[in-house]
Chain A
Amino acid sequence: MGVTQLLFWFLSLLALISALLVISSKNPVYSVLWLIMVFFSISGHYILLNAQFLAVVNIIIYAGAIMVLFLYVLMLMDLKKETEPQKKRWVKLAGAVAGGSLLLVLVAALKKADLATSMTQTREGDIGLIENLGKLLFSEYVVPFEISSILFLSAMIGAVVIGKKEQPPKSPEGGL
């Protein structure tokens, strides 16, 4: 039972627990925080897998940018816990059961998967290093990279279209 294993178990447990807290905590703000926790632990996993680039990006983009955005919006709407009406219990139950059994099915199916033996590489293998990835990205993956710019453009325009206030007020029930 080496350090790697210990770390692995620790991070996994951390991730799972905080994930559960994300979906269970009443107050949205707490959920956000727990989610950030999850992200951190996942980044830990990345490091464990020697994917440093992703680890960093994950922290920066997710934990940094996106989650902050979420928090910002939440603050903007300052939603208290009581403002979120709870679903009926049976719906919740059904949801939990469905998700749980889906997990069971997948796990059961993949348990006997033929790569039970195959290992993944931890703590070495330099593919995850920023240099290699950069090379790869700008040699072979340049086309998708450019394409993703289109994605961003559209997202940007979209945000503008949606976000800007509409000048001429219209009846809420307009046919179109």
Chain B
Amino acid sequence: MPINYYIFLSLALFCIGMVGVLTRRNAIIVFMCIELMLNAVNLLLVAFSKMHHLKNAVANASAGGDGQLFVFFIMVVAAAEVSVGLAIIVMLYRNVRSVDINFLNRLKH
């Protein structure tokens, strides 16, 4: 499978996520879109890791493995981020009964 396909695919997903971030106002959805972006990245990483594996497997049996491990760490971090993020959103909801990202703009200029 040519690597370009994966590149374009995950770029597409990435940008779709970005568009989501740009267009939605619901904090949770925005956050989900960010997760989408992360997943796009993951996909690409895996693809690359396999590419490098294909290239250097002869020299180094574990070539490309680091890419997949990185994905693993991304997931870890994502999980942590989600826990904190959702906590923040919930706190916000408690205080203002809304998860609209534009609802609060006392801090400006």
A residues adjacent to B (C-beta < 8 A): 4-5, 8, 12, 15-16, 19-20, 22-23, 28, 31-32, 35, 38-39, 42, 45-46, 49-51, 53-54, 57-58, 61-62, 65-66, 69-70, 73-74, 76-77, 79, 84-87, 91-92, 94-96, 98-100, 102-103, 106-107, 110-111, 113, 115-122, 125, 127-128, 132-133, 135-137, 140-141, 144, 148, 151-152, 154-156, 158-159, 162-163, 172
Contact = CB atoms under 8 A, between A and B. Distances in A.
Contacts of B102: 85, 87
A148 B77 contact: yes
B105 interface: no
Contacts of A16: 9, 12-13, 16
What is the interface of chain A mostly: helix, strand, loop, or mixed? Answer: helix
Contact of B13 (A38, A94, A100): A38
A127 B65 contact: yes
A77 B93 contact: yes
A121 B50 contact: yes
A42 B39 contact: yes
Contacts, number: 247
Interface of B: 1-9, 11-13, 15-26, 28-29, 31-33, 35-36, 39, 42-43, 46-51, 53-55, 57, 62-66, 68-69, 71-73, 75-84, 86-91, 93, 95, 99-100, 102
B28 A51 contact: no
B36 A76 contact: no
The 4 closest A-B pairs by CB, nearest first: A95-B22, A23-B20, A99-B19, A155-B80
Given A51-B49, A111-B4, 20 more contacts: A38-B39, A49-B46, A54-B42, A57-B72, A61-B75, A66-B79, A70-B82, A99-B19, A115-B4, A121-B54, A122-B1, A125-B50, A127-B68, A148-B73, A148-B77, A155-B81, A155-B83, A159-B84, A162-B87, A163-B91
